[in-house]
Amino acid sequence: MTTLEPQPLGPALAAAEEAGWTTVRLDLDGVRSKAELMARCREALFLPEWVGRNWDALADAVRDLSWLPDAGAAGRLVAVTSWRAYAAARPAEWETLREILEEAVDFWREQEGAPMLTVLLADAADAPRRKPRRG
């Protein structure tokens, strides 16, 4: 996926889990600052303590993902939910996050034999909160 377009969450999660992918949900509900965004990313992506709280560190982290639960899964789906308010309130930061995620998707696509990374922008109403799961 080279661009992130809004999609329904429920069918994507079900399909990914059925295919043996690890799924995580990055819920941006209530996030209004970069610091809050970095904290939410740390929590949702299970980032290790050593990962800094800045754009470069986040970009590096999503090119690693070895600590992600079920790191040996067939693929990885990161569902970004409740993102519209953050995108409207912090458009420059939102654009930076989108670029980091798009570059990570491209990076993992180029890694021969590595699990794919897919990022999906979704509305939270489509599915309940979930813990990371491998299908």
pLDDT tens string 33-50: 999 999 999 999 999 888
Show the tokens assigned to 113: 């034999």
Q: What angle do CA 39, 31, 53 make, to 5 degrees?
A: 25
Residue spans of alpha helices (H) in 8-90: 9-18, 34-44, 55-61, 84-89
Higher pLDDT, 113 or 61: 61
**What confidence score (pLDDT) does residue 115 get?**
87
**What confidence score (pLDDT) does residue 31 get?**
96
**What confidence score (pLDDT) does residue 93 get?**
97
Question: How high is the mean pLDDT of the chain?
Answer: 83
Which amino acid is present at 39? A
Show the tokens assigned to 34: 């970069």
Show the tokens assigned to 134: 């491998």
| Confidence grade of residue 126 (pLDDT, cut at 50, 70, 90) | very low
